[in-house]
Structure 1
Amino acid sequence: MRSACAFIFFASLSVVGGALAQSATDLTVTGTITPAACAPMLSGGGEFNFGMIAAQDLDQEAITNFISPARQLSVACSAPTRFALRAVDGRAGTQPTVTIDNFGLGLSGVERIGEYKLRTTGYAADGSAAIDVLESRDAGSSWLKAPSDESYLFNTNGPNLTAVGGIGANEPSAIEVLTTDLAVSMAITAAKNLTLTDEVTIDGAATLEVVYL
């Protein structure tokens, strides 16, 4: 059960030679104390290294796409817990196009190198694959079944969440262990938009978040 407390801060202003005037503004303090804790873990130390990419292999006029091998993402909770996933972009604002699931690859000078998505597939909850992947576009107030088991983790530039529930469920289930395969789908911007006379360092970074519901 959510608990909240609130207090009101009052401010007053005295005007010399006139009547006392008062103004006030409300301030609320809210939060949730959860009885269980969930810890996310990504195999391979969370590193997706695409190695050396030759400039000549990049398309001059359009983006060049790459896909990484998948790593296992797991979330282990100390007790059955309702939670969702999203990611925080460590290079926010560097992606050429801003969408609900694009993350930036950093800058080369002032040039935007490209963007990537965090593709997930093969979800299992407490060892069972008999689940539906659910998505929320309003911070968990309502949920819809994802178009397919292949989904993309949302960037925190919007109130979007990914979770799992039982078959036909209209909200996430309380589970102890969630597993899924996660791969990076990377798009390097058209080569004509990059200065490639020196090495360009791909510098994407993100933090995976568990959001308690």
Structure 2
Amino acid sequence: MAHFKKTLSTLGVCAALVMAAQATAATEATLKVSGTIVPAACSTTLSNSGEVAYGSVASSVIRNAPEGNGLVQLGAKDITLTVTCDAASAMGFKMIDNRANTVVPLSASNYIVSPISGGNDAQSYHGFGLGLASNDAQIGAYSVVVDAANTKADSAAAGVVYSDDAGKNWRSGTAVYQVNDSARIVTVSNVGGSEPKLFREATFPLKISAGVQSSSVLGMDEITFDGNATLSLVYL
């Protein structure tokens, strides 16, 4: 009988140890959330390898500037900017003139005729430089206009919006000029919309319009245009 009681006492001790172990087990667990947000990779291409060619212009064409305008109009040329991303993205582009010191500043007396509206573009920040003539005279200026009516996003019609304050506010337009100091971001929107939209591929038809000073200013030597600007993508 004494041996039986001792056994019970031993079992009681074992039970107490088990209960103590349960009491010290962890009552909390840590949840971790990890991940990485990676911007989509986007690239730009320009048709015709980025060259807008006016070819050979006879000096007789620029002999006299039109009345009231110091720039002889050479008309508009077309080039297309395509932005392609590996995932749907909100992306815009801006431009800076690499020949800014050669531009004839646009004004009421030195303007470029708009290739879309036909109006006179006299805004100085729309003008990009064409280089210098052999006598160091500024050759002229050109403008860059986005043709919103033919802009597309993912093969569908799109609108065009632009911001001059780093994307804080947006405005839309049917003929959106780029500016020469990289201050303007241009991108696509829904048709009739006023905010940027996501896309994987967007095509922006650009119209380049040039005007040059007359031969009385540039001289009669051969003149070579040297317009050069950089287009940069901006994540929105």
Q: TM-score range by the shorter chain?
A: 0.7 to 0.9
State the alpha-carbon separation in 1 of the partners of residues 93 and 83 from structure 2: 10
Whether the aligned pair in 2 keeps the contact of 1:106 and 1:203 (CA below 8 Å) is yes
CA RMSD of aligned residues (A): 1.9
8 Å contact from structure 1 (residues 154, 161) kept in 2: no
Distance between the aligned counterparts of 2:141 and 2:51, measured in 1? 16
Q: Give CA-to-partner distance per residue, 1:21-47, whole Å, 9 cap, x none.
A: xxxxxxxxxxxx851121110111111
Percentage identity across paired residues of the two chains: 32
Establish whether residue 105 from structure 1 lines up as the match of residue 151 from structure 2: no
Q: 1:100·1:158 contact (CA, 8 Å) conserved in 2?
A: no
Q: Give a deviation string over 1:114-146, Cα, whole Å, max 9, x none.
A: 0101222210011110x2211212121100111
Q: Alpha carbons of 1:145 and 1:49: their partners in 2 closer, same or farther (altered >3 Å)?
A: same
More helix by share: 2
Alignment deviations for residues 177-206 of structure 1 (CA, whole Å, 9 cap, x no partner): 00122232111113322122x211111111
1:158 positional shift: 5.4
Given that residues 89 and 205 in structure 1 are in contact (C-alpha distance below 8 angstroms), is that contact kept between their aligned partners in structure 2? yes
> Using a 3 Å threshold, how does the CA distance of structure 1 residues 170 and 68 change in structure 2: closer, same or farther?
closer
The aligned counterpart of 2:60 is 56
1:139 aligns with 2:166: yes
Decide which structure has greater strand share: 1
Q: Partner residue of 1:153?
A: 178
CA distance in 1, matches of 2:214, 2:143: 17
Q: Which residue of 1 aligns with 2:222?
A: 199
Q: How does 1:46-195 map to 2 (within 5 A)?
A: 46-61=50-65, 62-97=70-105, 99-108=124-133, 109-121=135-147, 122-129=150-157, 131-146=158-173, 148=174, 150-155=175-180, 157=181, 159-195=183-219
**Quick one: structure 1 residues 165 and 34, their matched pair in 2 at CA, closer, same or farther if it must change by over 3 Å?**
farther
Q: TM-score, structure 2 length as denominator?
A: 0.69
Counterpart of 2:153, as a letter, is: A
Provide the rounded CA distance (Å) in 2 between the counterparts of 1:126 and 1:68: 26
Q: Which amino acid aligns with 2:129?
A: G
